[in-house]
Chains A and B, each alone.
Chain A
Amino acid sequence: MGFDSAKIEEFRNIWVFCEQRDGKLMETDFELISEGRKLADERGAELIGVLLGDQVEGLAGEIGGYGADKVIVCDHPMLKVYTTDAYAKVLCDAAMEYKPEIILIGASNIGRDLGPRCAARLHTGLTADCTHLDIDMNEYVNFLTTSSTLDMDKTKFKMDDVNLKMTRPAFGGHLMATIICPRFRPCMSTVRPGVLKKAEYSREKAEKVQVEMYPVHLNAKDIHTQVIEVIKEAKQMVDLIGADIVVSVGRGISKDVEKGKELATQLAGALGGGVVGGSRAVIDAGWLTADHQVGQTGKTVHPKIYVALGISGAIQHKAGMQDSDLIIAVNKDEKAPIFDCADYGLVGDLFKIVPMMVEEITEMKDKK
């Protein structure tokens, strides 16, 4: 078959690894397919979803509905539950055979397990946790113009560059770096969930999608780990990423942690129902569990309304919320950096102000 990752001219088309758990596709898959569509058009290539699992063929249509031209289905009982060994083998086998130019993987706990293993096996580069992707240089220059502090008049580019330009935050969000993988293919990227925008679902496209069954070769000897059980946490998964309203609490609730959390819940309710998040300090203190964390090391959210209660606004926290549509901050320290990115700032004691916010907002809604 002859696979050599350095023969870059042999590689074409864009793959999206479509992660499913329990026969359900992940939200990130749709974000990646939507973005992949844009890239495939820039590159004049096909967009192919790669779906691994057990009896998952039925999910192919959904992938097509967001823009995939084709879905390669790798169906095997040993792919029912994720194992690094089985998934890496099948994905690498297929990649060596089809030679895709680009592979995009959602940066979930599974994607970030699978991606690096495959990149090492394929001898190619992988860029982790990307937040922006471009192929077309004009698109990339436009992106830099709006999203960087670079002086674009003084920055020269080779405008015919066709590498995938993968942009990601580094150093806790203090810096952004655009990474390329010029000498090897496939160019691989894991993409942060919740960052890229999902396209409209099209039933027509879903019906038209091509499905190709890939002959999976797996046997027990290929798999060195054994999944004894998979436990869904009884506690509800905190869907910070998908929430329209996020009310986060910070160190400022230390005076009365329970009351502070309760006020956040009330305010989220008044604003139309939302999720309570927390800064790193709050998670470190054990006041909220880690799945509530917003920020560089936690989740990136962009809700319609983000409220920061008693959060000073360290840059790592901002990295996870500054793209929210509207930001409201309450802090007793008028110099708190959170106010620099807030649309509305209220200086004062959150334990006094938040109940009033709840009352005023509820009253305003009642008037209508």
Chain B
Amino acid sequence: MDFSLTKKQEMLKKLSEQFAVNELEPVAAEVDESHTFPEENFKKMAELGFTGIGVSRQYGGSEGGTLEKVIAVSEFAKVCMSSAAILSIHLIAPQAISRYGTEEQKKKYLPRLTRGGELGAFALTEPDAGSDAGSARTTAIFDRETNEYVLNGTKCFISGGSRAGVVIVFALTDPSKGTRGMSAIIVEKGTPGFTVGKVENKMGLGGSETAELIFEDCRVPAANFLGKEGQGFKIAMQALDGARIGVGAQAMGVAEAAVDLSVKYANERVQFGKPIAALQGIQWYIADMATKTEAAKALVYHAAYLADSGQPFTKMAAMCKLNASENARFVTNLALQIHGGYGYMKEYPLERMYRDAKITEIYEGTSEIHKVVIAREVMR
């Protein structure tokens, strides 16, 4: 199997790396510490076309597919997990509209979400519906008289929700049917009845704002309906399959960086008269970290390949996410250990990477729910 990148993908990798090192890395600690969304950098991502990956050029996108997303997100993750998460999660909305939207919706929203620099968000989780997305309670009841949907309910832990211009909200258009009554609706920022609730204070990923979204008699034109009635759960699950590869890419990137930093530090740090790299204990750590990270990368690339070649990839997306995220925690933990006291200090990026890595085991589906998905796929 040929896993080598095309020349254009190599160029994208180089561009992503340059952009990450020059623009994202210098502010990575600051955006995390101050819990500030990196507004400027998101704008620059849009100008260069990162926010339009997977979207056709006629709508302002930059083409490409899952592998292109993996390349950009993993390079970003090497220096700033917040930025990698922002891009990875943002891409869900334009890609879902690309796939399920009407021509009008594509013309209206895609240019804004790509070159236009507006952030997209994906609102599925509710206070009582996390892994169990089927128990969501937000409703969108059709009002025949005005040809509008009326949204009521609360979404929580929505990445970018507080500043997204365009949110894809999953709500029950027919509460009696459970998940089969769930639909997807595009809601714009500023729509009356749509307010941002609590902005969360998180363990990591400070630059990526996570918010509660509240809908109180929020009226949305029927033209904003995405896909068919009752198709919402399917749209959500499909979007999550892609998003999981994105999380895999984040986890893979942060792990690669942790390995590189550890090798560098181990060579520089002298204790007992020689670099700690000369100690077999450290060498074994690094051998494990590097091997597992390569394996994680292979699964992520494989999942991206399946997705881009039109093959079923639900199982592989879940596997790559589960494996890469557990590896990210494993590797950042050992990397921090290798860095010793310095690793624990805010002066070094390790403690941030360690905190940031943890989220990859939780969001877009916990490790446990991934095992459910994987078992279902493997054991059927």
Residues of A bordering B, CB below 8 Å: 333-335
How far, in angstroms, from A333 to B270 measured CA to CA in the complex?
A: 10
How far, in angstroms, from A334 to B270 measured CA to CA in the complex?
A: 8
How far, in angstroms, from A335 to B270 measured CA to CA in the complex?
A: 8
B216 CB-CB contact with A under 8 Å:
no
Main SS at interface, chain A: loop
User: Could you write out 4 A-B pairs with CB less than 8 Å apart?
Assistant: A333-B268, A334-B270, A335-B268, A335-B270
Name the CB-closest residue of A to B347.
A255
Residues of B within 8 A of A333 (CB): 268
Name the CB-closest residue of A to B268.
A335
Residues of A within 8 A of B270 (CB): 334-335
CB distance from A273 to the nearest CB of B (A): 34
How far, in angstroms, from A333 to B268 measured CA to CA in the complex?
A: 8
CB distance from B265 to the nearest CB of A (A): 11
Interfacial residues of chain B within 266-297, with CB under 8 A of chain A in the complex:
268, 270
How far, in angstroms, from A335 to B264 measured CA to CA in the complex?
A: 12
How far, in angstroms, from A170 to B149 measured CA to CA in the complex?
A: 71
How far, in angstroms, from A335 to B268 measured CA to CA in the complex?
A: 7
How far, in angstroms, from A333 to B265 measured CA to CA in the complex?
A: 11
Residues of B within 8 A of A334 (CB): 270
Query: How many cross-chain pairs have Cβ atoms below 8 Å apart between A and B?
Result: 4
Residues of B within 8 A of A335 (CB): 268, 270
The 4 residue pairs across chains A and B that have the minimum distance between CB atoms: A335-B268, A333-B268, A334-B270, A335-B270
How far, in angstroms, from A333 to B264 measured CA to CA in the complex?
A: 13
CB distance from B78 to the nearest CB of A (A): 20
Residues of A within 8 A of B268 (CB): 333, 335
How far, in angstroms, from A335 to B269 measured CA to CA in the complex?
A: 8
Interfacial residues of chain B within 253-268, with CB under 8 A of chain A in the complex:
268
How far, in angstroms, from A250 to B268 measured CA to CA in the complex?
A: 18
How far, in angstroms, from A334 to B273 measured CA to CA in the complex?
A: 11
How far, in angstroms, from A334 to B268 measured CA to CA in the complex?
A: 9
How far, in angstroms, from A335 to B276 measured CA to CA in the complex?
A: 13
Name the CB-closest residue of A to B275.
A335
How far, in angstroms, from A282 to B356 measured CA to CA in the complex?
A: 30
CB distance from A63 to the nearest CB of B (A): 48
How far, in angstroms, from A334 to B271 measured CA to CA in the complex?
A: 11
CB distance from B59 to the nearest CB of A (A): 38
CB distance from B201 to the nearest CB of A (A): 27
Name the CB-closest residue of B to A335.
B268
Name the CB-closest residue of A to B269.
A335
CB distance from A311 to the nearest CB of B (A): 16
Name the CB-closest residue of A to B267.
A335
CB distance from A346 to the nearest CB of B (A): 16
CB distance from B305 to the nearest CB of A (A): 39
How far, in angstroms, from A335 to B274 measured CA to CA in the complex?
A: 11
Name the CB-closest residue of B to A255.
B347
Name the CB-closest residue of B to A333.
B268
CB distance from B346 to the nearest CB of A (A): 12
CB distance from A74 to the nearest CB of B (A): 48
CB distance from A134 to the nearest CB of B (A): 41
How far, in angstroms, from A234 to B361 measured CA to CA in the complex?
A: 58
CB distance from B7 to the nearest CB of A (A): 28
Q: Mark B140-179, 1 if CB is under 8 A from A, else 0.
A: 0000000000000000000000000000000000000000
CB distance from B311 to the nearest CB of A (A): 46
How far, in angstroms, from A335 to B271 measured CA to CA in the complex?
A: 12
Name the CB-closest residue of A to B26.
A285
How far, in angstroms, from A325 to B268 measured CA to CA in the complex?
A: 29
CB distance from B189 to the nearest CB of A (A): 36
CB distance from B349 to the nearest CB of A (A): 14
How far, in angstroms, from A198 to B192 measured CA to CA in the complex?
A: 80
CB distance from B62 to the nearest CB of A (A): 29
Interfacial residues of chain B within 332-355, with CB under 8 A of chain A in the complex:
none
CB distance from B264 to the nearest CB of A (A): 11
Name the CB-closest residue of B to A336.
B268
Name the CB-closest residue of B to A285.
B26
CB distance from A348 to the nearest CB of B (A): 15
How far, in angstroms, from A334 to B269 measured CA to CA in the complex?
A: 9
CB distance from A195 to the nearest CB of B (A): 34
CB distance from A250 to the nearest CB of B (A): 16
CB distance from B27 to the nearest CB of A (A): 13
CB distance from B159 to the nearest CB of A (A): 31
How far, in angstroms, from A264 to B380 measured CA to CA in the complex?
A: 70
